[in-house]
Structure 1
Amino acid sequence: MKVVIVGAGPAGIVTAKSLLENADANFPFDPVILEQEDDIGGTFRYRSYENANLVSSKQLTSFSDFRLPFSHPDHLTLEEYVEYLRDYCNHFKLQERIRLNSKVINVARHAKGGHVVSYVTRASRESEWSSKVNIIHAPYIALCTGLHVIPSMPAIPGIEHVISASKGSESPVVFHSHEYKKRSQLHGKRVMVLGTGETGMDLAYEAARGGAKEVVLCSRAGFLSFPKALNDFEFLGFSFDSKQPGVPIDSLITNLAETAYVHPWVASSHIRWFVSDFVIKRLLWVLTGTQAGCNQWVGELEPERLGRAYVFLNKSHKAMPYINRPYRNRPKYLDYISRYIDPPEDSPPQTNFTVDLAPFPTHFLPNGQAVFTASKRKDYIRMKDRDVRPELVIFATGYKQEFGFLDKDGGYPTPGEANIRNIVREGDEGVAFIGFVRPGVGAIPPIAEMQSFFWISLLKGRVRQPIPPPHYHLLVKDTARIKYGVDHSTYMSTLAKDIGVAPGLWELWREYGTHVLLCYCFGAAFTTFYRLVGPYKSDSAPAIIKTELWDTITRRGAIGNFIMGVIPMAFYLSLNAIAFGLGIIWTVAGGRVE
């Protein structure tokens, strides 16, 4: 059974590996990966820039049965992660399955079923594409091209005046963030960065550190800032600084009663998210003096969008000291109780340099001056009378999803139409979208691994039916631009239950003992947990859990595990027990729990 996988990024290679390992006499999967670039790695290889690091931890981002050694830092550089992907391909002998410099130009329905995949090749990245069209007939297609491929650059009236004002420049003065590669592009310039996602925040920091004359960072509607690791704070005289191993933020959410063993009524109400948001906001106020984010004094979201249930956490935190300077306002005496320690500035090029936060510009005047969207926001009030004339404008405005190679007459779905767990469209299970959801806190590669397991189970008829309704999507308005956000742990747990790999507590204790059981209860939704039982069981899982994943729990310390583990578990267990009891009464009365 030929399976054509489009894209050799993390999603593509883990899908190929999963298919190969789960091929059998009835489903002899024969995957081939078509990648238009000359190397694997996708976004991590071809849209990277100097000093870029993963904001998701190696513990969460690594695939379930191929881990990185303890000697590696928690957060890898992009070069290190691409090397990890290369080692993964070598270890599982995937190279022979990957056809580099192979560009898919058309996917069409075959008259007798399946698909006809047409692609062209080239000798190298510098070569022209061959005119010869190659054909593969395949019953299954896995689209693994990723969320970050086609740049999105919203139109801003007058942007051409910035170009006119910068005549004589040897390099582009208006470009998308994927074209940014090194600090020298920013040195000595008045820089405007459009977008406060993680890339935008990275670029603002790089401009500040790279000797830009001025940096203006523009935000549409605010952001929620958190560090990628909790280790730079003081509380009651105890210091937790960056010299100590921190706790990756994506490994803090516990499994028991918040992800595993959740009553359907509790899941559908999202009360777990609302309660954790309420608690986290109060803890942030005690620790940093603000509830808008972790030591975030400007750029706050609207109250109805502030929290885990609504947005993607921005874990690129290095620019926050530069952004906070004009706004931070906390009584000194509170800093003696607790405070967040800004990341150290090693020899900054300019003392007290500030990154100016501003709303998005509505337009640019003929002289190149930016005019900002009027509002009551603190940043607008501060910036409204400033004469901002950037010499360099970078669109850190994300990407859009387009699949021009899918035959328009073939009735192919889009990722938004994949109504079965955001992977396939009902009735068209032979076409899968792997890696097309984004977690609020978490990472796409481990999600892609679980999605590949789900797709294989679906093709083999092993997914439990009927499929329960989804309760994992982030809560957004119908008019929202991005609707593919999910809660990482809830989504992973949902897929695990669907395919029969979510372990039971008694089952875990009986087969693996107390150590693995405790790690599962206190740990985050690591993919390795879902390889302890069921059809994707791995012999390497117990050892990984007892060592590497156990380390993420012990790092929290006794106090941290009590606050972030025992208390939430006790509360949510009680809440689920109440729902369970009410569900029994409701069932006896003739109702139905769904």
Structure 2
Amino acid sequence: MKVVIIGAGPSGLVTCKSLLEAASLNFPFNPIVFEQEGEIGGTFRYRSYENSNLVSSKQLTCFSDFRLPSSHPDHLSLENYVLYLRAYCEHFKLTERITLCTKVVDIRRDPASGHVVSYVRRDQKSGQWETTPKTVHAQYIAVCTGLHVLPSIPAIPGIENVSGRSTERVEDRAQVFHSQDYKSRAQLKGRRVMILGSGETGMDIAYEAVKAGSNEVVLCSRSGFLSFPKALNDFELFGFKFESKTPVPIDSLITNLAETAYVHPWVAASHVRWFISDFVLKYLLWLLTGTRAGCNQWVGELEPDRLGRAYVFLNKSHKAMPYINRPYRNRSKWLDYISRYIEPPEDSPPQTHFIVDLAPFPNGFSPDGQALFPASSRKDAVRMADRVVRPDTVIYATGYLQDFGFLDKSSKYATPDEANMRNVTREGDESVAFIGFVRPGVGAIPPLSEMQSFFWISLLKGQVTRPLSPPHYHLLVKKDARIRYGVDHSSYMSTLAKDIGAAPGLWQLWWEYGTHILVCYCFGAAFTSFYRLFGPFRSPTSTHVIKTEIWDTITRRGILGNLTMGLIPMAFYLSINAVVYVVAVIWQVAQKITKTPKFYVF
């Protein structure tokens, strides 16, 4: 059974490995990977830049059966993550299945069965692509090209008016480019930089511009953001400092019990857990930092109806926030004495007075290159209303578009938006899967891709019970929202695990693995290793990973952290689920009674 996988990023690699592992006499999967670039790694290799790091922890991001030693930092550099992917390929002997410099140009249905895949190769010496495509027949297709493909560049009137210094030197000329072309601080030194977009990449570049010695840095945001550090730092209460030698990665804080396991369908459908946790978190942030907009975030707040876990992707690139906050932070000393969040020490060289100006997204540029900002009551808009901003470097940190031009239109293939079976495949057309086309609000795409590959393979093998339960894992969006592929990491992982019969029950877990694993599961986040204790992808390495790495993420929270972020929320949500369960039973009994025929004897 030939399976063509398009893309050798994390999603393509884990799909290839999962297919090889699941191959059997009845399902002799024979995967091959086509990658148009000269190396594996995808976005992590070809859209990286100097000083770039993962914002998701290694504990969550690494694949379930190939881990990194404890000597590695919690958050890897992109360069080291690509090295990890290479080691993964070598360990599971995937390299021989990957064909580099090979671009898929057309996929169409074979009238007999399966699909015909056309591809061209690039000559490594000349760099030229073949003009005559070759073809291969495949029973299955896995599209793993990723969310970051084509730069999204919105039209801004007058952008051509951006100008550099009046000099003939090339390095002084105006620069307007997309963030995919940003590589090092040298591009920012001595420049007047404007960054369009306040996502994680935009935040990274703003910080890099400060450290590069830019003359001015303006970060433009359309509608705000929700800022959190990728690892929680120290804080003080009444002068007592609570500090940790190893800050806890934020993506390991959400617990399983009553969050993803043992959640009544009515509770899941209402999303009440998300709304309650948002409410509690806002006031906890206010207590610790003085603001509810984000973690020590004093400007750039989202609209109230979009502020929370249920709506947005958390922005975990936090290093630029001290420079953004400076004109806005206003908190009395006595409140700071009661509680204070302590930002990590500033990297060298220190810029103790530098300000990154937050501004609205510009409407355009005047003929003399001045940015024209819309009038608004936003704090940043009021502050920037009288400012004259003439950048000589404009960077579009405006994200990416996906391109599926290689899918033959007459064959009526689905796109990820039409993949109505867990965002992986379209019902009735399960031979084509889209792996890695969801993004978690808090979490990482690679472990989601691993679970998606498990789901797709189980679906092909007929091991998934249909109909599927309702999807209660999507982030809530408005009707006109541009991005609709957001999911809650833990809810999505748990749903896929239930679909394939890999979500453990508490009694079953304790009976087979004992108390230690049970406690880890209840207090731990939705790590893939938990879903390899049972089911079709059971792995002998899972228990060791859980008892060491995952247990470490729990103990690092400390007693106070496990009480406030674990035990209390668990007890509260279990109570809600218990009440709803009783109400549901009473409702079902009442329904049966009212529908039971009544017989009368005369």
Pick the TM interval, shorter chain.
over 0.9
Matches within 5 A, 1:260-271: 260-271=261-272
Task: Tell whether the 8 Å contact from 1:166 to 1:391 is kept in structure 2 after alignment.
Answer: no
Aligned pairs (5 A) from 1:317-336:
317-336=318-337
Q: State the Cα distance separating 1:336 from its structure 2 match.
A: 1.1
CA distance in 2, matches of 1:467, 1:224: 33
Q: Which residue matches 2:233?
A: 231
- Quote how far apart the aligned CAs of 1:164 are: 7.6
Gaps of 5+ in 2: 594-602
Counterpart of 1:193 in structure 2 is 195
| Counterpart residue number, 1:152 | 152
State the partner residue of 1:218. 220
Note the alpha carbon deviations across 1:144-171, whole angstroms, 9 max, x for none: 0000111000000000001587785636
Confirm whether residue 430 of structure 1 aligns to residue 442 of structure 2. Answer: no
* Residue 366 (structure 2) aligns with: 365
d(CA) in 2 for partners of 1:591 and 1:353?
A: 69
**Partners of 1:295 and 1:247 in 2: how far apart?**
17
SS state of the match for residue 467, structure 1? coil
Assess if the C-alpha contact under 8 Å between 1:38 and 1:125 holds in 2.
no
Taking only the aligned residue pairs, the percentage that are identical comes to 72
Match of 2:122 in 1: 122
CA distance in 1, matches of 2:592, 2:178: 55
Matching residue of 1:139: 139
1:363-416 deviation line (CA, Å, top 9, x unaligned): 100000000122110000000111100000000000011111111211111110
Instruction: Give a deviation string over 1:551-586, Cα, whole Å, max 9, x none.
Output: 000000111101111100000000000111111111
In 1, Cα distance between the equivalents of 2:524 and 2:42?
Answer: 29
Contact 2:233–2:341 (8 Å) recurs in 1: no
Mapped partners of 1:526, 1:414: distance in 2: 28
Residues 224 and 453 of structure 1: is their aligned pair in 2 closer, same or farther, counting only changes over 3 Å? same
1:209 and 1:348 in contact (8 A); partners too = yes
SS of structure 1 residue aligned to 2:82:
helix
Residue deviations 1:417-447 (CA, integer Å, cap 9, x gap): 1111000011111110000000000000000
Superposed displacement of residue 350, structure 1: 4.3
Alignment correspondent of 1:448:
449
Cα shift readout 1:305-338 (whole Å, capped 9, x = no counterpart): 0000000000000000000000001111111121
Residue type at the aligned position of 1:160: E
What are the Cα deviations for residues 250-280 of structure 1, in whole angstroms up to 9, with x where unaligned?
A: 0000000111110000000000000000000
Match of 1:421 in 2: 422
The 3 A distance-change label for structure 1 pair 447 and 347 is: closer
Q: Which amino acid aligns with 1:357?
A: L
1:166–1:5 CA distance, 2 compared to 1 (3 A)? farther
Query: 2:42: which partner in 1?
Result: 42
The 1:509/1:350 distance shift into structure 2, 3 A limit, reads: closer
Find the aligned partners of 2:216 and 2:399 in 1 and give their Cα distance.
23
> Deviation at 1:130?
1.8
- Unpaired segments ≥5 residues, structure 1: none
Matched residue type, 1:216: V
How many residues align structurally?
A: 591
Aligned match of 1:69? 69
Matched, 1:178 2:180: yes
> 2:599 is matched with which residue?
none
Alignment check: 8 A CA contact 2:163 2:391 kept: no
Tell me the secondary structure at the aligned position of residue 570 of structure 1.
helix
**TM-score, structure 1 as length reference:** 0.98
2:395 pairs with 1:394:
yes
Compared CA separation, residues 317 and 166, structure 1 to 2 (3 A)? farther
Alpha-carbon spacing, 1:18–1:218, altered in 2? closer, same or farther (3 Å): same
Residue in 2 that maps onto 1:309: 310
Offset from partner CA, 1:38-84 (integer Å, 9 cap, x none): 10000000000000000000000010110000000000000010000
State the secondary structure of the residue aligned to 2:170: coil
Between the aligned partners of 1:306 and 1:535, the Cα distance in structure 2 is 39
Instruction: Tell me the C-alpha RMSD between the 2 structures.
Output: 1.4
Change (3 A) 1:126 1:575: farther
Equivalent runs, 1:512-591 vs 2, <5 Å: 512-590=513-591
- Residue 211 of structure 1 contacts residue 349 of structure 1 at CA under 8 Å; is this kept in 2? no
CA contact (8 A) 1:101 1:125 kept: no
| SS of corresponding position for 1:33 | strand
Q: Any idea what SS the aligned residue of 1:336 has?
A: helix
